[in-house]
Structure 1
Amino acid sequence: MMMEQQLIGSKWEEMAQKALDGECLTLADGLSILEGEQEQLLPLLQAVFRVRQHFFGRKVKLNMLINAKSGLCPEDCGYCSQSIVSTASIPRYTLLDKTTLLAGAREAMARKAGTYCIVAAGRGPTDKELSQVVEAVREIRATMPLKICACLGLLKEEQAKRLADAGVHRYNHNLNTSPKYYPSITTTHTYEQRVHTVQTAKAHGLSPCSGVIIGMGETNEEIVEMAFALRELEADSIPINFLHAIHGTPLEDAGCIPPLQALKVLALFRLICPSREIRVAGGREHSLRSLQPLALYAANSLFVGDYLTTEGQDITADHQMIEDLGFEIERNAL
């Protein structure tokens, strides 16, 4: 038994070394992570932490988002409470005014977040909405040491340029799932359009942020393919969301990803995208539950506060979790 455990640990260490050497894992490697026995989890996290520590030390990046425009979305994304096919009981409002967006930025500072994410439901921003965001971003950047991430939907070339000129640091547009499975989740736009938006943002100097939602019915092989796709896309930041099924959405009956499986997913993305920011995002409290601290042995970033239409963990609990781990919150330079 001892020899078997040593062999398992050696296997994960070999994968970690491949990641540190710049080699990409194989599909078989990825599947072995996701399908490994429970007894293999701690040796896996130990190996993965070598990679996380090499690139990020013991620092943790905090991000806070504001739901800048809620509901009123014409897209049919099956996971989303704000989509046109959702009957979920959620707030619905047009884009928040500058005063409210600035108040959100101050709250991000109070929560020790380094990045403030302005998120608006919809297919893509109108010119008026973009101007509102640009105006708010200019004032935030002039008065607060925050990085700004915008998530406004499909993006045109000139819109990307305006955001970059205003001082937006990062643009988020998640791939969400694999190309093959995508039509099962959304039909009003394509996977290729999402890839194009990420590429457009990158071409105009915006740091590309793109991630996934785990637990929508995809296979393990498709999860590995998602990680490969984000590696190829060279996403700087990769939010890993775990589906928190919401009543009134097409995926309301989807089960919850168990904590141990969620940790394997985070380990997989760290080893396939070793130098990238891996962020524990929506659904972490729901899926990881009491094992949330272990997530930071693979991930180096997390959201604090509430999500778009679901509640997050209390901020004092997040700060305490990071302190108890002996980790340090990363702050932006003044």
Structure 2
Amino acid sequence: MNDRSELLSQLPLRENLRGLSPYGAPQIDVPIQLNVNENTHPLPQTVVEAIAQEVAKAATSLNRYPDREFTELRELLADYLGHSLTAENIWAANGSNEILQQILQAFGGPGRSLMSFGPTYSMYPLLASGTDTAYIAGERSEDFTLSAESAAQQVREHKPNIVFLCSPNNPTGTALGLDVITAVYDAASEHNGMVIVDEAYAEFSLSSTKSALTLLEGRQRLIVSRTMSKAFGLAGARVGYLAAAPEVTDAIRLVRLPYHLSAVTQATAIAALKNIDLLLAQVEDIKSQRDRIVARLKELGLNPSVSDSNFVFFGGLENPHAVWEGLLEAGIIVRDNGIPGTLRVTAGTESETTAFLDHLAELLGAEK
């Protein structure tokens, strides 16, 4: 009997989807999971109870469709972001991946193109394929940085309809300077292109790093994408959102599914935003563990990148996959992105971070 891949090939699948694999990091049940950049700290009990109350209230009317405009949620998100934003500037969806997909549905599609600069978030080309948008792989320098001059030159050369800038970048963890974003926006403006800054990890940025939210005013085709999965610890709730000019949110409404954000999802996000101080209090602890990882990796002779995120990308490994396997045997999973000589690790709790660093030191010592 044919295997599943052969059976799949018999279906009248779109040609640009043939041969692709679904996105997804390994889901392996081990005690210490530091591979998908989740917030490793459980939600405070006060927030759990607040969410339960909001969801219970929503459950009394689940026989009705939810607020299609999720007005209260948009107002709370605008208040959280600041920068004189209002609900008219905000849109939300089921995770930032759906936000990016809706952007591509509105501004991409057949005959149009998306450009980003690798290595970067591996979902970008998959989202492009899913919306039949051509993907253009831009380039970074050998140390994975991206200069304003290089980025703008590449945008002018390829003239993409859409540019995705991941800042802080995944998997490298380093944020882009505002000069890079403005240079890309100016270059894209020459052919009426859209520029999206994916700030999924913005809350973990270094104090000197500035958000692209500061650039929104007067830039009609600039979008800043955010998520509640990381700093808020709501990966399981699936809530992403964007900030942009009101006409951009109007464009997204043209492609969103009816009532796409469930009443339960809205209630969960609203409860979280009403308890934002409790949630963001964990961010500082995560940043301290991240900085601890960076310092110890340097002591071990490795090369961690500057991290504005809740993870650390590091090089200098002779056999990264062997190290990955050694850590897995110890009950610790990190991310092997397939980039030669490198691995990526999420900043965990203090005990998780200690276990990772101790086992990594043992593995490196055994290699010598």
Please give the range of the TM-score, normalised by the shorter of the 2 chains.
0.3 to 0.5
TM-score of the pair, normalised by structure 1:
0.34
Question: Rg larger in 1 or in 2?
Answer: 2
